[in-house]
């Protein structure tokens, strides 16, 4: 389809073209119901099949069994910053948080608003969050250790997870969920706003180990309680049906067309390396993240001047590549290359970067 651009948006982000086409072809009459998926009841068998298939595919992709529960919650990843301490951090306990940038800082802020005992057990703030800290001060009796597995704004990613000695890790995986194989054993809960690697905005996936559900206090508002979602198959109230349907199709694409997380990981490594290979400390393109902590999902870089950065983003757009401006809080440039970003988009970007450097370097 020639009128689609190469989309490097950080989120909402590009979706797999076969998924968009399937939505288009099923939009007016979903599975002979005579209705659109946006018009059918969330209590119908057709929608039940959607949600159950999405849950089953998630468990299969992560190679986990039903000791974990998959929930669909609204309020984005940002609501999870509050729900996690509300549900899983009793006042008698503390939680360790590792601060690796904007989103971890927000998670810490919300736990503090709730007057919970929060310990910042590691941070990379000293170097503007350009690396993943190894030096952690974890306590054995913490309720959980919270990390952000991929830092969308700073362009860093955890490549090995910390050894927490059995304390469950909780991870914000908004920008790298299902982008690589994951050993779920150390994780008590992972969560992700859908709009980067999973689907459209409007739904957040939460995968929680079932034993943690037993710790949820009774005296929380229903909509803020994980057990409300787990007891009702995420259908306590009207869920964002269209967003969940799209997530189901993305999961189907990942499992049946791509062939699972090992395959997508190989593709993601190849894609990221093509761009990172153009970067060096003294070069025209300078990566902002420490090379050992570089993200496979968000490639952040600077050019020799802000003026050149502006021209780079503008000329890229003229040439059919969008979304390359860095986050407004950090400036510079960023290519977000989630699962659905195709190799041909990366190759187009790399060719453009080479010719831009030749002209301006
Ligand atoms: C790592 C991370 N966590 C949390 C969020 C916030 O997500 P939401 O907008 O779904 O609340 C974002 C959004 O970009 C993110 O990248």
The predicted-structure confidence for 235-278, as pLDDT tens digits, reads as follows 999 999 999 999 999 999 999 999 999 999 999 999 999 999 99
pLDDT attached to residue 1: 55
Does residue 349 register a pLDDT over 90? Answer: yes
Under 8 Å between Cβ of 163 and 62: no
Q: Which helix H or strand E contains 119, and what residues bound it?
A: strand 117-123
pLDDT in tens, 157-205: 999 999 999 999 999 999 999 999 999 999 999 999 999 999 999 999 9
Sheet holding 298-302, edge to edge: 286-287, 298-302, 333-336
User: Is residue 65 within 8 Å of residue 59, measured between CB atoms?
Assistant: yes
Average pLDDT over residues 344-360: 98
Beta carbon of 148 within 6 Å of any ligand 1 atom: yes
Question: Which residues is 286 bridged to in the sheet?
Answer: 302
Q: According to the model, what pLDDT value does residue 3 have? A: 86
What span, in angstroms and rounded, lies between the C-alpha atoms of 97 and 57?
Answer: 30
Residue 158 annotated among the catalytic residues of the structure = no
Give percent of the chain above pLDDT 70. 99
| Cβ of 78 less than 6 Å from ligand 1 | yes
Beta bridge pairs of residue 147: 171
Q: Which of 55, 94, 196, 325 is catalytic?
A: 196
> Which of the following is catalytic: 96, 172, 176, 225?
172
Does the N-terminal peptide bond of residue 130 adopt cis geometry, omega within 30 degrees of 0? Answer: no
pTM above 0.85, yes or no: yes
User: Span 1-28, mean pLDDT?
Assistant: 94
* Model confidence pLDDT, tens digit, residues 107-165: 999 999 999 999 999 999 999 999 999 999 999 999 999 999 999 999 999 999 999 99
């Amino acid at each position: 389809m020639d009128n689609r651009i190469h989309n490097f948006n950080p989120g909402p982000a590009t979706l797999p073209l076969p998924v968009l086409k399937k939505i288009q072809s099923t939009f007016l009459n979903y599975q002979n119901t005579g209705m659109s998926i946006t018009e059918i009841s969330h209590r119908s068998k057709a929608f039940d099949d959607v949600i159950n298939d999405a849950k089953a595919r998630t468990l299969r992709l992560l190679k986990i069994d039903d000791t974990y529960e998959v929930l669909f919650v609204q309020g984005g990843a940002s609501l999870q910053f509050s729900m996690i301490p509300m549900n899983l951090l009793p006042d008698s306990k503390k939680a360790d948080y590792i601060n690796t940038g904007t989103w971890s800082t927000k998670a810490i802020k919300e736990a503090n608003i709730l007057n919970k005992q929060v310990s910042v057990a590691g941070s990379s703030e000293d170097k503007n969050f350009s690396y993943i800290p190894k030096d952690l001060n974890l306590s054995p009796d913490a309720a959980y250790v919270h990390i952000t597995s991929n830092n969308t704004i700073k362009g860093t990613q955890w490549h090995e997870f910390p050894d927490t000695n059995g304390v469950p890790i909780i991870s914000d995986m908004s920008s790298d969920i299902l982008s690589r194989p994951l050993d779920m054993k150390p994780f008590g809960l992972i969560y992700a706003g859908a709009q980067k690697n999973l689907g459209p905005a409007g739904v957040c996936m939460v995968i929680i180990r079932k034993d943690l559900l037993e710790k949820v206090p009774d005296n929380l508002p229903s909509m803020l309680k994980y057990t409300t979602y787990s007891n009702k198959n995420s259908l306590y109230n009207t869920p964002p049906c269209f967003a969940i349907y799209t997530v189901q199709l993305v999961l189907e694409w990942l499992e049946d067309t791509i062939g699972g997380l090992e395959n997508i990981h190989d593709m993601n490594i190849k894609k990221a390396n093509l761009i990172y290979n153009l970067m060096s400390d003294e070069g025209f393109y300078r990566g902002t993240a420490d090379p050992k902590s570089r993200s496979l999902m968000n490639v952040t870089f600077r050019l020799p001047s802000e003026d050149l950065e502006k021209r780079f983003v503008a000329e890229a757009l003229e040439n059919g590549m969008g979304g390359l401006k860095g986050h407004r809080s950090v400036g510079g440039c960023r290519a977000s290359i989630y699962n659905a970003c195709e190799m041909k988009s990366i190759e187009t970007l790399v060719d453009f970067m080479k010719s831009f450097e030749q002209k301006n370097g």
